[in-house]
Amino acid sequence: DMGTAYTNAIGRAPDYNELGSGNIGSLNLGPATYKWTTVVSIPTNVTLTGGANDVWIFQISQGLSVAAGVQVILAGGALPQNIFWATVAAADIGTTSKFKGVILSKSSIAMKTGSTINGRLLAQTAVTLDQTTVGP
């Protein structure tokens, strides 16, 4: 099922390409399909604003890097189960960060000490949790 979900997410036509050159910190993003050929970094909080039926798909040809203490903030009724982070390389979620959404990694996912996720962690090689809280 993970492979099917990953293929579906990565295969969609993007609405936006290379937004922020891969740095999406401090942005407020609406529902859409976003694509990068680079690493996507989130060095500061990012906000996803939309309704309960809206969908965000992040197609990341390399890895995902979330800095320590950073939050993915949902606004306007957005739901974590409608947010898909599809990465080819590893996803690295920094210490004490608060992440939202479903991570679909073709490689691995590392949740660092004290991090939390409201969503799911699905990887084809490994998911590493270090004193992490995983919520619905």
Quote the pTM value: 0.95
Residue 97, number of CB atoms within 10 A of its CB:
22
Q: What angle do CA 34, 40, 46 make, to 5 degrees?
A: 75
pLDDT tens string, the chain, 136 residues long: the values are 888 999 999 999 999 999 999 999 999 999 999 999 999 999 999 999 999 999 999 999 999 999 999 999 999 999 999 999 999 999 999 999 999 999 999 999 999 999 999 999 999 999 999 988 888 7
Spatial neighbors of 62 by CB under 8 A, at least 6 apart, are 36, 37, 38, 39, 40, 87, 88, 89
Q: Give which of 29, 18, 103 is closest to 66, Cα–Cα.
A: 103
Radius of gyration of the chain (CA): 13
